[in-house]
Amino acid sequence: MKNRPQELTKAELEIMQVIWKKEKVLVHDILAELPEPKPAYNTVSTIVRILENKGFVSHKAYGRTHEYFPVVAKEDYTNIYMRTVLDNFFEGSISRMVNFFSAQKSISLEETDEIMKILHGDK
């Protein structure tokens, strides 16, 4: 990503999810994967160019057709995004974040067990 990592908008993230999943796509491939109501072709094309300007995707040109592919791995973006959430909302504390989700009843007992296994190196 160019210079400082940027956060993706909801629309950009939705399109990046398709690009990460497919790895190489044309705009019409992206449209086919998006839920109804589908945005206009030009809207998707514009968002992909914005993603390219932000340094998230690049393309290969075949005449007037462009095949897009990710330049930033999904895991890398997730790490940056989650670090930002952790720092901005939980003062960098994982335990505060887990406590927040636990207090919101967002974590099931099964997920709690899974977290404990991960913390103990069982996974």
Q: Mean of the per-residue pLDDT values for the chain?
A: 88
Burial class (CB in 10 A: 0-12, 13-18, 19+), 70: buried
pLDDT in tens, 72-88: 999 999 988 888 888 99
10-70, what's its fold?
Arc Repressor Mutant, subunit A (1.10.10)
pLDDT in tens, 28-65: 999 999 999 999 999 999 999 999 999 999 999 999 99
Higher pLDDT, 112 or 26: 26
- CATH 1.10.10.10 maps onto the chain at 10-70
> Which residue in 104, 76, 75 sits closest to 89, CA to CA?
104
The proportion of the chain whose per-residue pLDDT surpasses 90, expressed as a percent, equals 59
**pTM across the whole model:** 0.77
